[in-house]
Each structure stands twice: as structure tokens, then as C-alpha cells.
Structure 1
Amino acid sequence: MSDVIKIKKGLDIRLKGKAEKVFGTTNLPELFAIKPGDFPGLVPKLAVKPGDKVKVGSVLFFDKYRTDIKFVSPVSGEVQVVNRGERRRILEVVVKSDNQNEAEDFGAADPKQVSKEAALEKILASGMWPFFRQRPYNVVANPADEPKAIFISAFDSSPLAPDNDFVVAGQESAFQAGVDVLNKLTSGGVNIGVNSQMASKAFVSVSGAKVSSFSGPHPAGNVGVQIHHVSPINKGDIYWTIQPQEVISLGKLFTEGVYDASRIIALTGSELKTRNYVKTKVGASISAYVQNNVEEGNLRYISGNVLTGGNVSKDGYLGSYDSQITVIPEGDEAEFMGWVAPGLNKFSVSKSFFSWLSPKKEYALNANLNGGPRAIIVSGQYDKVLPMDILPEHLIKAIITEDIDKMEQLGIYEVAEEDLALCEFVCTSKLEIQSIIRKGIDTMVKEMS
């Protein structure tokens, strides 16, 4: 393993509600949904209608402009409903499970002997391709491209994040098979970023991959930050990224010949009564995991972590890329004295409150903005939590003004929304920075296509 790459800028938000490293016994839910909104840039075209019978791996919809990229059912059963939004935009395709787990057979193959063309064909046919994301832009990768390298972040440093070492334990052979497949897709090799303090044998001893060790606060676990420090993205470079559990599913696709949509997720957050890990599938209804398991009050249900996750209802669905459900207070009740109060139980990045006196204390934070949007202030706040050699405030202004040249010069190719999530958290201007970054990325995609 190479020397440790030390990430000095960043912030670990100390929240109550980390999942205990045990598995819960909750049964699988009845409903599952695949949401086109999880895949930026996708224009979905339906392949099914309500009432259709599907198997695991049956196509639900595909990309209108890249028809070989398919999105498939994680369970066998019946298409329950296609929920639509404004202008009949497809929000989610809901499948009711029959608990039979009948799967499409895509045929097994030796990961080490399969050709690149055969590997691509199998991945596309199985519907696993959407789990390959491209940098720059953090969108579904184009299978016609040749990536400079493929990156996997083996640890998640975001608040209350699941422990990937615990998740992968016992699935090492499938992970290795997945890495063998990845090596067929690029001549630049596979890079795995591990936590220097607690990297498991599954990641450190894997063959056919370069392992880089990272230390420091969040966002050290972000794959974009790791790429920035290992092999920075220049104009014209293309990298692919994929998550550890998706690598395991990829390995099983080749060794078993079926699409395995299994996921181990962490149930986290201060408002959950029982916090542990559960075995489920992509797109699962979260109701099975939060019903009768939350404290009273108005709550925020999040698919993912508190910084980058999606706001869902208590009957909503797990995002396709998410491995965590978080429940926190909504924070919409009136607060006595407001900001004038001493704030003894409040977390503060600055020394506005007293959290700096208790560096190990955990907090039950809510979703309240504690203020409203205002003009952007150049204060240097963002630079303290973004460990990348870019100027975030200037980049944000360039995006707002749609200055393509400056966006390129200031590092738009390097970043995704998750990389600047902490900037949004510390922002005194209350800007929706992640939405601004996505707007900038969408502008670049449009201009460069």
C-alpha cells in the first residue's frame, strides 16, 4: 500500500444515531421502486405498464437516447403503478414483490477469461450499467467510452455512514470477482481508496487493484476527493466510479449469471428507536424499517445521509445509490429566544456556540435552516471544508452567471454535488450549493454535447 494521503480540510459532523453493527430481523417490504430521478440526465422511456409480470432483471425502462442502458426490476412480481409528476414526468416505477425471487438468466462467465466486449454486453443486458458513473459530471457512464481508470471508495466518511468493512465481510470472493470484471473494462486499472485506520482485508488484499490509503475528516471518503488527490481530472479525461456493494453485485452477475439487487443498509438517526443494519434490495420501501421504530414528532425521513440524501416520505423508497436511511427531527417548531439563546446543545463550526468545548459530544441536529437565503458572502468558509485545489466561491459565482469558460478554469470537471455538500452545511448565506453545482454540470453537459 502506498503512503497515507492526509486530508486536512473537512469536517466531521458528530450526530447521534449511528447504527450498531448487528443485523436486524425485519422482513423484506412488499413494494420496491426504481426512480428515474436518481440518474441525472436520464430521459426514461417505459418498457412496462401496470399489471405486467416481471422477474428480477426484467427491464422497467431505458434511456431514450441510449437505448442499450436499461433499468431493471430488483424483485420478481407485478408492476403496481407508474407514478408521474408534472408534464407526465415519470417519478417512479413501483413493483409489488411476489417473494419468489424468480430471476432472468444472463449466463455465468469466468470474470478473468471473459472479453471486454462480452463483459460490456452482459452488464448492459442485466441492467447493472447505471451503477457505473462517470467523472466529470457524475452521470451514468457511456459504455462506448474508454475510461482512464475506475475508482472505488471503500469507505464512507459522511455523517452516520455505514461501515463498508462490516458490509463486505463474508462477500470477499464476490468483490474480487467484480474487480476482475472491472479490469476488463479499462486499461488504466482499478483504484481503491481505503481508510488508513480501519481498512478491512477485503479491500487491502484484493488483487488487480491499486490501493490508496486516506486519513482525515469528511469528505475524505468521497470518490471525487480521492480522484483529485490520486489522479486529478483534466479536460478530456474520463473516469468511472462504482460503489463496493455494486462491485459485489457485478461479481455475482458473472459467477452466478443473475442480477443480484441485494443491499445491506444502515438504519441511522437520532429519531430511530432501533438502529442497526438490515439486508434489503435496491429501491425498497422504507416503511418496513421505520414503521413503529421512530420517536414521536414531525420527522425528516432521508434516503442516504443528512448532507446529500433525498427527502422522502415515511412511505417512500430507498434511492438506487443509497445504503443508508436516516431519520432526524424536522425542526419546524418555534424555538424560545431563537439565536439569542446560549445554544448549549447546538453544534457550531465556528465558536458561536460551545460545541468546540466538547469535541467528542454527539448532537441530535434537525433539518432547520436557521435563517433564510441571502447574498453570497466571500468569507473563506468553503475553503476550510473543501480539500480540493479549486476556488469554490468563484466557481459558484461562475455557475450562477453561466460563464462556461470560467467554470472550466475553476474546476467544474473535478466536482460533483457531494463534494461541496459541506460547503452548503457551513454556508451563512444559506445557498443551495449542491443544486447550483448540478445546474453547472447540466450546463456543461448541454454545451459539450
Structure 2
Amino acid sequence: MSKDIRIKRGLNISLIGEAEKVTTEYSLGSVFAIRPDDFHGVIPKILAKEGTEVKAGEALFHSKSDERVLFPSPVSGKVSEIVRGARRKVLAIKITADEKQKHVDFGKKNIDEMSGEEVKSHLFNSGCWPFIKQRPYDVVANPNQEPKAIFVSAYASAPLAADYDYTLRRKEAELQAALKALSKLTSGKVHVSIAKDSNESPFLKLKGVELHKVSGPHPVGNVSTQIAQIDPINKGEVVWVVTPQDLVVIGELLLTGKFNITRTVALTGSKFDKPQYVTALAGAQVSDVVKGNLNTDNVRVISGNVLSGAQVDEDGFLGYYDNQFTAIAEGDDYEFFGWNKPVFNKISTSRALTFSWLNPKKKYDLNTNTNGEHRAFVVTGSYEEVFPLDIYPMQLLKACMYKDLDEMEGLGAYEIAPEDFALTEFICVSKQPHQKIIREGLDLMRSELG
């Protein structure tokens, strides 16, 4: 039996370049990279030095704070380079892939016979633990603290996001295996949310989960929105979050004994000649995934969606948790009298000289131009129109900026992640970096309060 979740506050951003439901399988590619920065808050301890031969699933580094948390190679090959930055910080570990792939055999498992500790140990040894993230703080989960519940959002409402109903087709066995195993790690429920009008979601047939059907504008697909509606987080409580594509990796590991981090990646945005889906491994090089399909004239490529993804170059790599590349025009032009004329080709929540509200189904070809410069916060009341959580967004942002821990706690910082402020950042007339502010605030709380 499902519980419906419907929100009214939010904003759907309709863009040109939605991926056609066609999947192209490219060759493996030559170079892959794992970036420790993808695992926020983790300080890496290198295990595989330059020149080391590794198999797919073999650990490249572990967390300095907990050596059980391993981070594996997505492919077999040779560690060709360890890229370092200031103070010898590890920026990336590059692997040159073998033509014929070799995998570490972790062994098939009978999930019914496994205890919770055995499941946890298997996830540690195979390098699958980083797929489990926790709230509060939106970091890799602390294995020493039991969650009160586990959440999976199987509906992505962000602009041009990959369609989970399509990318997870015929993955019911892997999803069921992963969810059955994860349910042994909590005494609470495993909550799964799907789109209300979805008739093809593989989660409809799965057992042992609490199913919820969601509807409304973005960010209804954000797991924070769903947690707030289903089982809000109080001080001292922890919930774990896993994405559907990562459930497939965990499930395949349990069923076959192999660590296979192949993703169905959506190529979206107006700068792709043919927006579509492709198969790729996490850490794949951008040029290998988008080859022959990208219009490179004045383009910005983003690993993830346009609101919360990270900019990458063509020689960059697919983020470890990402299943989408977005390519849109670089907004490096100046619009003459842009502040003082009617606007028909942009999205706005305001009705002052803007007309996107007249045609809500229109799709826009937006660029990266911020249409203004950084300035002090302007109190407009517009943030609350797109922010569905029962939190005062501007007050929380300011509390993070002046580092008032008591106020951050009182205003609900335990419940949020940076992505929850992507929409308020998008509509911000002050051009403040909301997600960066929230991330710095959460880091401060984690370091001071634990």
C-alpha cells in the first residue's frame, strides 16, 4: 500500500534537449578516473601507487578516518597517474583500462542467510559502502550508527533528468536483492518513492519496501523533500539514502560476485546533436562518452543536471554518483538593456516584464549567463515560493554565513543537503551561491557537533 506525497511549492524548468529513449553502447574507453572530491568529507589514503595493476573492484584508496570504507577501481588496468593539487591533495586517480576486463570475484551470496553484520562486511570488502549516504550532512554514511530508515528516490524531477523507469528496465532482480540486503541494516522501514503516474517502474513489483507515489513540481524528486513528508529527521537521528542506479550495482554484486559500475547515462541539453542514453562506467572520460555527438562551439558540459551538477572539460570524467551529462550554451555574452525590456525567452518566477508564466509548457534554450552580478541579499519572499520544506531558507542561509550553530540547528539544517537550495539559487536576484553556503555550513556543523 502506497502513501501519496504531493507538493505545490517548487518550479519545473523545461529545457530543450530531453534524452530520447534510445540507448547506444559505446566501446569501453581508454582512461578512467576516480576523484576523491566526489566523496565529500573523505580524506583518501592511497593503496594503489602509480604503475600498480588493478582489477575492477580492487581498492584504490580507503577513508583515512575508517579504513573499512574502500573505494574501488571501476575497471581493470594500470594506475597511470595520481593527480595532486595544492598541499599534495589527491585530485584524481587515473587508470588506463585493459582491453579485456578482469574483475575481483567477491562471491555470490544467499541474502536470506546473511545477517546484518555480514551484509555490512560484504559492502565494505567490495567497495560498495560509499553508495550509502546519510542525512544529516549528506556524506558517506557512518557505519557505526544505525539509521532509523533508508530512503530511495526513484523519481528524478530535476531539469532533463534521466528517466529511472527507462534506465532501470529489466533490473528487478538486482533491485530486489539490494533492497533485501539493505533492509537488514536498519530496524526501520525502507522507503521508495516513484512518480504518481508511473506504470512501468520496476519498484512496483518489489517486496519488503514502503512504496510512495509523488507528484508536484521540482524538487519533489529530491530525497530531502520525501524524508520531510514521510519521516522527518530530529536531532540525533540518522537516515540513509541510496540512489536507484547504485542499488543495481549492489544487487549485481550480491547475485554475481562482480563489482560492475556500468550506468545508463543520459546525454541531455541543447548542445547535443542527438540527446539520448548511452552506457558508460562511472569515471569514464567525457570525450569517450560524448564523441561525435557534442556541438563544441561555446559549450559548457556538466556532469549531472544544470542545477546541482559540476562543470567538466572534455578531458574530464563522469562523476561517481552521476548518470547524466548536460551540455548547454556558455553564457559569456552581454545583453544590452537586459534589465529594462520585456523577456520572453527566459524562465522567471516574477511577472515583472517576464512572461514565462503565460506558457508553462514551453521549453527553453537557456545558457549559463547569471544575468547579474553578486550582491547582498535582497529580501523578496521569492525563495519560499520554490522551497517546499518547512524551513525558512533565507534565515538558514544567513545562519550558515555567520556560522551560528545553534541557529542552524533550530532552523532545520539536519534535514537538508546542498541540492535542496539549487532552485533558490537559480531564482536568486542577489546571485548568491546558495549550495556552496549550505555545504560550508553543514561541514562546520559536522566538524563541531559530530
Give TM-score, length-normalised by structure 1: 0.98
Give the Cα–Cα distance (whole angstroms) in 2 for the partners of residues 140 and 238 of structure 1.
12
Amino acid at match of 1:379: T
- Please report how far the alpha carbon of residue 198 of structure 1 lies from its aligned counterpart in structure 2 after TM superposition: 1.6
Amino acid at match of 1:361: K
Give the Cα–Cα distance (whole angstroms) in 2 for the partners of residues 433 and 201 of structure 1.
33
Q: Deviations along 1:142-183, whole A, 9 cap, x unmatched?
A: 111111011000110000000001011111111111111111
- Please report how far the alpha carbon of residue 107 of structure 1 lies from its aligned counterpart in structure 2 after TM superposition: 1.3
Residues 44, 61 of structure 1: 8 Å contact kept: yes
Residue equivalent to 2:99: 99
Residue equivalent to 1:112: 112
Tell me whether 265-274 or 19-28 shows the greater mean CA deviation: 19-28
Secondary structure of the corresponding residue to residue 94 of structure 1: strand
Residue equivalent to 2:392: 391
Residue equivalent to 1:164: 164
Gaps of 5+ in 1: none
Change (3 A) 1:199 1:70: farther
- Please report how far the alpha carbon of residue 369 of structure 1 lies from its aligned counterpart in structure 2 after TM superposition: 1.0
Residue equivalent to 1:327: 327
Q: How does 1:38-437 map to 2 (within 5 A)?
A: 38-351=38-351, 352-437=353-438
Give the Cα–Cα distance (whole angstroms) in 1 for the partners of residues 362 and 27 of structure 2.
34
- Please report how far the alpha carbon of residue 201 of structure 1 lies from its aligned counterpart in structure 2 after TM superposition: 4.2
Q: Deviations along 1:191-218, whole A, 9 cap, x unmatched?
A: 1011101253411221010001110010
Q: Deviations along 1:8-61, whole A, 9 cap, x unmatched?
A: 110000110000001124322211111110111111111112211110111111
Give the Cα–Cα distance (whole angstroms) in 1 for the partners of residues 179 and 417 of structure 2.
24
Amino acid at match of 2:388: P
Change (3 A) 1:90 1:374: same
- Please report how far the alpha carbon of residue 105 of structure 1 lies from its aligned counterpart in structure 2 after TM superposition: 1.2
Give the Cα–Cα distance (whole angstroms) in 2 for the partners of residues 349 and 320 of structure 1.
33
Secondary structure of the corresponding residue to residue 112 of structure 2: coil
Q: Deviations along 1:348-389, whole A, 9 cap, x unmatched?
A: 221232222222111111111111111112221111111110
Amino acid at match of 1:121: S
Amino acid at match of 1:158: A
Residues 155, 193 of structure 1: 8 Å contact kept: yes
- Please report how far the alpha carbon of residue 341 of structure 1 lies from its aligned counterpart in structure 2 after TM superposition: 4.2
Give the Cα–Cα distance (whole angstroms) in 1 for the partners of residues 239 and 216 of structure 2.
24
Secondary structure of the corresponding residue to residue 113 of structure 2: coil
Give the Cα–Cα distance (whole angstroms) in 2 for the partners of residues 397 and 337 of structure 1.
31
Residues 273, 294 of structure 1: 8 Å contact kept: yes
Secondary structure of the corresponding residue to residue 425 of structure 1: helix
Give the Cα–Cα distance (whole angstroms) in 1 for the partners of residues 442 and 3 of structure 2.
33
Residues 77, 95 of structure 2: 8 Å contact kept: yes
Q: Deviations along 1:65-115, whole A, 9 cap, x unmatched?
A: 111111110010111111111111111111111132211111111122211
Residues 23, 279 of structure 1: 8 Å contact kept: yes
Equivalent residue pairs, number: 449
State whether structure 2 residue 444 is matched by structure 1 residue 443.
Answer: yes
Amino acid at match of 2:429: T
Residues 46, 61 of structure 2: 8 Å contact kept: yes
Residues 111, 178 of structure 1: 8 Å contact kept: no
Give the Cα–Cα distance (whole angstroms) in 1 for the partners of residues 344 and 382 of structure 2.
23
Give the Cα–Cα distance (whole angstroms) in 1 for the partners of residues 199 and 152 of structure 2.
13
Secondary structure of the corresponding residue to residue 66 of structure 2: coil
Give TM-score, length-normalised by structure 2: 0.98
Secondary structure of the corresponding residue to residue 340 of structure 1: coil
- Please report how far the alpha carbon of residue 448 of structure 1 lies from its aligned counterpart in structure 2 after TM superposition: 1.4
Secondary structure of the corresponding residue to residue 339 of structure 1: coil
Amino acid at match of 1:282: A
Secondary structure of the corresponding residue to residue 137 of structure 1: coil
Give the Cα–Cα distance (whole angstroms) in 2 for the partners of residues 91 and 296 of structure 1.
25
Secondary structure of the corresponding residue to residue 338 of structure 1: coil
Amino acid at match of 1:172: E
Amino acid at match of 2:116: K
Tell me whether 246-255 or 402-411 shows the greater mean CA deviation: 246-255
Change (3 A) 1:212 1:360: same
Change (3 A) 1:290 1:201: closer
Aligned Cα RMSD in Å?
1.2
Give the Cα–Cα distance (whole angstroms) in 1 for the partners of residues 424 and 229 of structure 2.
19
- Please report how far the alpha carbon of residue 442 of structure 1 lies from its aligned counterpart in structure 2 after TM superposition: 0.4
Gaps of 5+ in 2: none
- Please report how far the alpha carbon of residue 339 of structure 1 lies from its aligned counterpart in structure 2 after TM superposition: 2.9
Give the Cα–Cα distance (whole angstroms) in 2 for the partners of residues 73 and 296 of structure 1.
30
Give the Cα–Cα distance (whole angstroms) in 2 for the partners of residues 167 and 437 of structure 1.
31
Q: Deviations along 1:395-449, whole A, 9 cap, x unmatched?
A: 1111111111010000000100011110100111100000000011001001113
Identity %: 46
Residues 175, 247 of structure 2: 8 Å contact kept: yes
Give the Cα–Cα distance (whole angstroms) in 2 for the partners of residues 369 and 201 of structure 1.
36
Amino acid at match of 1:362: K
Residues 399, 408 of structure 2: 8 Å contact kept: yes
- Please report how far the alpha carbon of residue 296 of structure 1 lies from its aligned counterpart in structure 2 after TM superposition: 4.6
Secondary structure of the corresponding residue to residue 208 of structure 1: coil
